[in-house]
Amino acid sequence: MTDWQGKSAADLGRAIAQGALDPVDLTGACLDAIRAHPDRTRIYARLTEDRAMAEAGAARARARAGQRLSPLDGVPISWKDLFDSAGAATEAGSRLLAGRLPGADAAVLAAATAQGLVCLGKTHMTELAFSGLGLNPMTATPPNALDPARAPGGSSSGAAASVAFGLAPAAIGSDTGGSVRVPAAWNGLVGLKTTSGRLPLTGVVPLCARFDTVGPLTRSVEDAALLLAAMDGRKPADLRGVSLKGARLLILDTVAFDDIRPEPLAGFEDAVARLTDAGAIVTRAAMPALTEAFALSGILFTSEAYGTWKSTIESAPEKMYPPIRDRFRAGAGHSAADFVAAWHRLDAIRALWADWAAPHDAVILPTVANLAPDTARLLADPAYFTAENLLALRNTRIGNLMGLCALTLPTSRPMAGIMFLGRPFGEEHLLRLGAAAETALA
């Protein structure tokens, strides 16, 4: 088999449908490539080889009988190691959960399997998904595909690496504050953050359940649309005939450009010029209430995260990387009354955002304000780790705070993405817009 590593999941699915590609051969080639890769153990926490080959064999039989279940039937993908998989350990990147063996698949994994997708295995991640850098000295830190000396982005670090290194046609990650979009941007991929509640979290190891979402990391917008459909059982977004002519895009002038580094800014500005040339109508505006939402985020995220994991963490705190452990413990100082009041205020700010953004097809901004930082310096300098982590998650967190769906696309500059913020549960519209933008940015 040649050149499968350079093809999108959708192209592989079409090749299977045409009889030009055998799912068993494809899955075997994927597993061979993983086993041969020098960083395999830094990218994959474990493979599910027997399951993968059995699922590929079933997909082969369906293809030969003309009974394929979906456009991606027979296509293998990777899963972040916080999605439960029956009979295979799910440890969420943490020594605290070592040996955790679920008895059933997560709902989204079960749904994707029912659509014929093949499970290759589980990818490494930040401990309990609570960092945007992807650094995990307690289990493994995957390499950045664009610069091995830099952090991969997190918390879906292995998910991004599996796709960017050609060790999976696509991957499924999770996004609580940017954990799909940051590693997608830093590894030159497409990343979709779904709206909270769009996909079920049953069988997904939680971080902050009110912010946690599931999303794909892919080579194309089409792949993201097909994977979303596979996980929620709906028809995929219709990407035919997409165009940016007359699309109304609003550049967010609040917070998103504070302390931005030159490279992400240049990538964004070049992308905006290309979108404008393709017919988009681009305007700029501030949303002052967003600053207040950011002031609430420390209460909202850390309180829920620590409340969820306090007893587990404090039973063996030495099993955690100190900067991650300390980030959890920051939630200990907030009262229940402050947490409830913060949510009431955030709901009011979300309503203000909805009115402010309503006339536009999407709000756009740089996906991440910094490039992937140097891994060695992150390990040596805790203050640098904290500062770079906060900056990495700053822009992506807007989508989580406002309860939106969001899509990141690569720009002309390495590690610099452009992010489109859509309406809650507006994934199909956002994906159509993203497909048109992908063409303009190519």
Q: Which residues are catalytic?
A: 80, 155, 179
Helix (H, G, I), strand (E, B) or coil at 218: strand
User: 42-67: buried (b, 16+ CB within 10 Å) or exposed (e) per residue?
Assistant: bbbbbbbeebbbebbebbbebbeeee
Residues 353/401, Cβ–Cβ less than 8 Å: no
257: closest CA among 390, 177, 368, 154?
A: 368
Cα separation, 129 vs 116, in Å, equals: 28
**For residue 426, how far is the Cα from the chain centroid?**
17
Residues 154/128, Cβ–Cβ less than 8 Å: no
Angle (nearest 5°) at CA 199 between 84 and 406: 115
68: closest CA among 186, 221, 230, 223?
A: 230
Cα separation, 94 vs 104, in Å, equals: 20
Question: How many C-beta atoms lie closer than 10 Å to residue 441's C-beta?
Answer: 18
